[in-house]
Amino acid sequence: MPHPGAFGLLLTLHVVLALFLLGPLALVCVTAPVLLRAVPGPLPVLLLATRLVRVLAAASLLIVLTGVGLVHQGSFGSVRSLGDGWLLGSLLLWALGCASCLGLVAPGMSRAITEVEAGGDARRRIAGVAVGAATSTLCWLLVASLMVIKPGA
Closest CA to 139 of 89, 74, 104, 67: 89
141 and 48 Cβ atoms separated by less than 8 Å: no
Does position 123 have pLDDT exceeding 90, yes or no? no
Look at 132 and 8; give whichever has higher pLDDT: 132
| % of the chain at pLDDT higher than 70 | 94
Q: What confidence tier does 41 reach under pLDDT thresholds 50, 70, 90?
A: confident
Q: Give the whole-angstrom CA distance, residue 130 versus residue 109.
A: 10
What per-residue confidence (pLDDT) applies to 85?
87
What per-residue confidence (pLDDT) applies to 1?
57
What per-residue confidence (pLDDT) applies to 78?
59
Q: What confidence tier does 131 reach under pLDDT thresholds 50, 70, 90?
A: very high
Does position 25 have pLDDT exceeding 70, yes or no? yes
Closest CA to 28 of 140, 147, 116: 140
Q: Give the whole-angstrom CA distance, residue 34 versus residue 26.
A: 14
Tell me the pLDDT tens digit for each residue of 42-69.
788 999 999 999 999 999 999 999 998 8
Does position 39 have pLDDT exceeding 80, yes or no? no
Tell me the pLDDT tens digit for each residue of 60-96.
999 999 998 888 776 544 557 778 888 999 999 999 9
Look up residue 57 and give its amino acid. Answer: A
Average pLDDT over residues 16-39: 94
